[in-house]
Structure 1
Amino acid sequence: MRRVTIYSIADALGISASTVSRAFSRPDLVKASVREEVLAKAQELGYSPNRAARGLATGRTGVLGLLVPDITNPFFPPMVRAVQRASAHHDAEVLLIDSERSETMEEDLLRRIRPQVDGLVIVSPRLPTSRLRAMLTGIPSVVVNRAVRGLPSVVCDNTRALQQAAEHLHGLGHRRLALVRGPRRSWAAEQRAKAIREWTRPREVDLVELGPFEAQFEAGRTAAGDLVDSGATAAFAFDDLMAAGMIAGLNDRGEQVPADRSIVGCDDVLLARTMTPGLTTVSAPFVDLGRHAVDMLHLLITGAKPSTVTLHGELEVRGTVGAVRRQ
């Protein structure tokens, strides 16, 4: 069989080979209608663009780097899928790297993959701001789930939803609340803690702060003991995985949720919707976070300057909160 090339597509459509080439390598320079015709004809003829050849011609690899701190945390798989699907719309593939919650690995991995990708999406990075900026100098980069001055970011502001959860607990009679803080260098952990602190200041409510803890199931199980010792009747866990660990730890101590204590998580990962009882939590717009990150990165790669995007979480009230038990 004769091999299909860009010249085959050009001949079939009666356009120049350079236009076909740009439809794949620089779609922003081609009319949308023309690119659709090129893609349709390419599919009909069974043509697949050669990324290596295209890279030599354009200086681009067609690959985006995606760094996450812990792929085993259920927050990150839906984020990976969202980024992957959004990247496909820009005819790009995704190279996934997991830093295993290590600053050293994060820095080393970013240094190693920079030459292999056109740009980077970094989710919840742990590196201090100065080192992160230094690592990302000279390569298009978007940060997700952390605001970094001077770098385009996509963040989820959960302030309103967390404060709604606090108000809901207050209405159920809870007057001593626990804030179970997340990882020490987590921007999201600090923002979530700030939201709860701001809500409690003008109210006659006791706030006990526990942690920091890693965003892990076993860390939540450990935190359960601290929660019992604190005397708080309700708790805000940093995320859903930690909340699940706390519920398990409370069960180990003979306590039931929500009969004895109420628990609120954050992110609304699959675990939150499938556990029994269902976890009261704050939903994260995973699809929109991934889509905005990739769209912003594409703008950076093509020379534009996108601004930070702020999305908002929504409160999901389920079965892990209830009225305070009267003594």
Structure 2
Amino acid sequence: MGKGKTTIYDIAREAGVSPSTVSRALSQPGRISAKTEFRIRRVAEQLGYLTPDTADDGDTPLPATGMMAAIVPTLANPLYATTVNALQEHLESKGYGLITLDTNEKPAVERKAMSYVMRNVDGVALISSRLSEPDIRRITLVKPVVLINRTIPGLASVTVDVAGAIDDAVHALKSSGHSSITYLAGPVSSWSNEYRRRCIRASAFRYDMTYRVVRECEPNLSGGAKAVEQYLIRPTDAVFAFNDSLAAGFMTAARRQGLRIPEDVSVIGFDDIEMAALLTPSLNTINMRSATIAAEAANALVNATRTGSSRPEPIALEARYISRDSVNPHKRSTMKLGPYAELTRSSDTIVLTLLSNAFNETMPRINEFMRSHPHIVIDPIEGRTQENTLSLYWERIINRRPVPDMVNVERTALPQLAASGALLDLTAFAGEELEREVAPRVDPASWRSAHYAGKLYGIPGDQSQTAMFYREDLLKHYGLAVPHTWDEFYDEGVALHARNPNRYMGILDTTDVQHYLSFFRMAGAKPWVVEDDTAIRFQMTDDRVRFVAKFLQQCLDDGVLKAEPLWDNRYMLPTSGTYLTMTYANWIGKILAASYPADKGLWKVALPPGFVDPSQIMTAEIGGSTMAISAKLPPVRQRAALTFIRWFQLDPASVELRAPGGVSAAAGYVEDLTRRGTRDPYFDQPIYDVYAKSAARVNRDWDNLPFYSQLDAEFARLIVPALRPGGRSDDRLDEWERRLKLYATSQGFTVR
């Protein structure tokens, strides 16, 4: 639907705001509250207003100019200046000139610069942009954009991942006797600053080092001098600075205060600018590979401009830790603070650590909570992936090391943490009133999954019911219908593979065990029963379980399914068109849209097939997160943590700020979108109606084992190698059950 059909008045009516508010949100982002702007933009996208063919006032494409633009926060930053110079050199070699606009670290100036370049250049390189995500997405509808030092899902970007280099640096500090770190943070609007802070925070947590932060330092020499004053209030053994200029200013001012570097305080910077090696002592730093960034960005920008990119590829380089002379190799720490606790500014402020796989999409909600609850500070610790998050948390449990105050974990892993005694039993802590009050506000299947052995251990954040995503065009091309039963799915898959051996009816994801198990759950088969928190009954050799395993193996044998990893935590791995259907959790729709933008309108969504009767379809869950609280927190901190997780998961203000594509576990969320007749712009259909029907059909007679890590490991070792034609994977159920029984017994469970 284009502007000729949808107007700002339609958007205003749907969003419940005035037309003038819609106009400000779409043409002058940042002028209204983030919550309202977010809602307006989501409605505009759903109504088809913000689409590439309508983003510009004209119907004809903008003419080529032979010029590119680089928009940079400040050329006073040596790293940015070096990057721009290298970018200009590479673009000139490809026949393009470069216009550089310095925004003086001001988002308002950057926004004006964006408006200027929309009609005067062929493409834009945004270097460490301070703009909001909606601002950036708006210009990508008109011009090719490559982000440098920032990522946004679905957009082309070139970044340097500092996580590994930071971990190397922190490990070196720990090994040489340091026990505490201060981060001198840069501009609050800088994506790089926030990512660096989270990585330093995570590494400090990993090595049990005290962590604190001095916020909003000016990223220059004078900013370093001012930062020393804040640092001396509670000094630490080592300092990370947002960039080398800030580090140099800190070192100079620290010496004036009588501190010796590195004897009294070690200093590490970022960027590895020329000055870093010339300081006395020479500065340890993180090399950001500016020349390589510029080359990659130039290639990406020219490619997008000349040929168009059907799938914007994020390019991630690895930063390097450069060891010089500003770190004390034999530090004797005098710090007596507790591990990984950020220092508070007032006695009535409660700081709570939260471990989660990522925070890029959730920080707006966390910030809104802290704004509305000023005495509770949330300190994020990033695990980077769900697997790493669980591994990090579990390693601390088994080694009796301190755990974070809260953890956001997949529900399949929740019983494992609950059985260890690490998580707070919310029913015992808050009483039955919590169950009676919160249960009606949560999707029933998600709510049940937040329990283990009859006790509540967390509050779920999203729904993850299965649906069938299918390529409508390819089904029509091969004369196939949308299957309503798995028998139909099999017959059509055999016919398809006979006509084209390079295409399959569906995929069996081997990333982890969850997708494989979802077929058993959809079939009503139950491989095990968790009777209570001490006993498990295994029934993996029951007829129904064997039937599902044999069916999956038959599909592999006959080319109906192919087993391989589905995605890499960002994008789909298979080539578009390899699979005609994907029966997976609803959240995979968001990944499809980001991975295959050229397939917009070709993918559709339906309920999964039924194993027997289409009218009796059962669905399953794959993934889905739950936020839980550490059992070891003092009661006053537990109450603060409960306040946060309830607000974060269920409060309307938080739900409204959710990133597009996810499905909240809050009761009525999907139904409300269904009542509005909301059409998804990628699938061009009201997908939430399908999701609501799937949620109502979830098979709730299912238990997650209290040792997910072991279950997944045995799946990878034993079952995955056999998921191939002729692999006889179904014959391995007996051995899988035997191994799981042995492990359960070793963990103190009674096995039946």
Normalised by the size of structure 2, how large is the TM-score?
0.35
| Residues 41-93 of structure 1 deviation map (CA, whole Å, 9 limit, x = unaligned) | xxxxxxxxxxxxxxxxx932111101110100111111011101110221111
1:324 aligns with 2:328: no
Once residues 203 and 68 of structure 1 are traced to their aligned partners in structure 2, the CA distance between those partners, rounded to angstroms, is 35
C-alpha contact 1:240 1:267 (8 A) present in aligned 2? yes
Instruction: Spell out the pairing of 1:44-123 with structure 2 (5 A cutoff).
Output: 59-123=63-127
Once residues 119 and 211 of structure 1 are traced to their aligned partners in structure 2, the CA distance between those partners, rounded to angstroms, is 34
What's the offset of the Cα at 1:326? 6.1
What's the offset of the Cα at 1:173? 0.7
| Residues 143-165 of structure 1 deviation map (CA, whole Å, 9 limit, x = unaligned) | 10000123200011011111111
Match for 1:182 among 182, 186, 189? 186
What's the offset of the Cα at 1:302? 1.6
C-alpha contact 1:259 1:325 (8 A) present in aligned 2? no
1:300 aligns with 2:304: yes
Q: Secondary structure at the match of 1:281?
A: strand
Once residues 138 and 315 of structure 2 are traced to their aligned partners in structure 1, the CA distance between those partners, rounded to angstroms, is 22
Once residues 140 and 219 of structure 2 are traced to their aligned partners in structure 1, the CA distance between those partners, rounded to angstroms, is 25
What's the offset of the Cα at 1:307? 0.6
1:254 aligns with 2:261: no
What's the offset of the Cα at 1:270? 1.1
| Residues 89-133 of structure 1 deviation map (CA, whole Å, 9 limit, x = unaligned) | 211111111000000000001111222111111100001111222
What's the offset of the Cα at 1:199? 1.3
Match for 2:161 among 157, 161, 175? 157
1:222 aligns with 2:226: yes
Question: How many residues of Structure 1 are paired with residues of Structure 2 in the alignment?
Answer: 270
Q: Secondary structure at the match of 2:258?
A: coil
Q: Secondary structure at the match of 1:244?
A: helix
Change beyond 3 A, Cα 1:292–1:232: same
Structure 2 gaps, min length 5: 1-61, 335-752
AA at the equivalent of 2:98: V
Once residues 193 and 259 of structure 2 are traced to their aligned partners in structure 1, the CA distance between those partners, rounded to angstroms, is 26
C-alpha contact 1:102 1:126 (8 A) present in aligned 2? yes
What's the offset of the Cα at 1:222? 0.9
Match for 2:320 among 288, 291, 314? 314
Q: Secondary structure at the match of 1:320?
A: coil
| Residues 254-295 of structure 1 deviation map (CA, whole Å, 9 limit, x = unaligned) | 112112110000110111122221110010111110111111
C-alpha contact 2:123 2:145 (8 A) present in aligned 1? yes
Partner in structure 1 of residue 211 of structure 2: 207
Once residues 333 and 237 of structure 2 are traced to their aligned partners in structure 1, the CA distance between those partners, rounded to angstroms, is 11
Q: Secondary structure at the match of 2:225?
A: helix
Stretches of 4+ moved more than 6 A in 1? none
C-alpha contact 2:179 2:333 (8 A) present in aligned 1? no
Match for 1:271 among 268, 272, 275? 275
| Residues 9-45 of structure 1 deviation map (CA, whole Å, 9 limit, x = unaligned) | xxxxxxxxxxxxxxxxxxxxxxxxxxxxxxxxxxxxx
104-113 or 225-234, larger mean C-alpha shift: 225-234
Once residues 264 and 304 of structure 1 are traced to their aligned partners in structure 2, the CA distance between those partners, rounded to angstroms, is 41
AA at the equivalent of 1:316: I
122-131 or 190-199, larger mean C-alpha shift: 190-199
Structure (1 or 2) with the larger CA radius of gyration: 2
Once residues 140 and 73 of structure 2 are traced to their aligned partners in structure 1, the CA distance between those partners, rounded to angstroms, is 16
C-alpha contact 2:87 2:295 (8 A) present in aligned 1? yes
C-alpha contact 1:283 1:316 (8 A) present in aligned 2? yes
Once residues 149 and 100 of structure 2 are traced to their aligned partners in structure 1, the CA distance between those partners, rounded to angstroms, is 17
What's the offset of the Cα at 1:325? 4.5
Partner in structure 1 of residue 170 of structure 2: 166
Partner in structure 1 of residue 678 of structure 2: none
C-alpha contact 2:166 2:203 (8 A) present in aligned 1? no
Task: Please give the root-mean-square deviation of Cα atoms over the aligned residues, in Å.
Answer: 1.5
AA at the equivalent of 1:80: V
Q: Secondary structure at the match of 2:125?
A: strand
AA at the equivalent of 2:137: R
C-alpha contact 1:121 1:142 (8 A) present in aligned 2? yes
Once residues 231 and 62 of structure 1 are traced to their aligned partners in structure 2, the CA distance between those partners, rounded to angstroms, is 53
AA at the equivalent of 2:291: V
Q: Secondary structure at the match of 1:277?
A: coil
What's the offset of the Cα at 1:202? 3.5
Partner in structure 1 of residue 460 of structure 2: none
Normalised by the size of structure 1, how large is the TM-score?
0.79
Q: Secondary structure at the match of 2:69?
A: strand
C-alpha contact 1:217 1:245 (8 A) present in aligned 2? yes
Once residues 270 and 301 of structure 2 are traced to their aligned partners in structure 1, the CA distance between those partners, rounded to angstroms, is 27
Q: Secondary structure at the match of 1:266?
A: strand
Aligned-pair identity in percent equals 26
AA at the equivalent of 2:165: A
Change beyond 3 A, Cα 1:202–1:150: closer
Once residues 200 and 69 of structure 1 are traced to their aligned partners in structure 2, the CA distance between those partners, rounded to angstroms, is 29
Once residues 121 and 103 of structure 2 are traced to their aligned partners in structure 1, the CA distance between those partners, rounded to angstroms, is 17
C-alpha contact 2:271 2:286 (8 A) present in aligned 1? yes
1:133 aligns with 2:140: no
Name the structure with the higher helix share. 1
AA at the equivalent of 1:219: G
Which structure exhibits the higher relative contact order, with contacts defined as CA atoms closer than 8 Å and separated by 6 or more residues? Answer: 1
C-alpha contact 2:237 2:333 (8 A) present in aligned 1? no
C-alpha contact 1:65 1:95 (8 A) present in aligned 2? yes
Partner in structure 2 of residue 147 of structure 1: 151
Q: Secondary structure at the match of 1:88?
A: helix
C-alpha contact 1:158 1:313 (8 A) present in aligned 2? yes
Q: Secondary structure at the match of 2:188?
A: coil
Once residues 281 and 174 of structure 1 are traced to their aligned partners in structure 2, the CA distance between those partners, rounded to angstroms, is 17
Partner in structure 2 of residue 192 of structure 1: 196
What's the offset of the Cα at 1:204? 2.9
Once residues 157 and 326 of structure 1 are traced to their aligned partners in structure 2, the CA distance between those partners, rounded to angstroms, is 30
Structure 1 gaps, min length 5: 1-57
Match for 1:244 among 236, 243, 248? 248
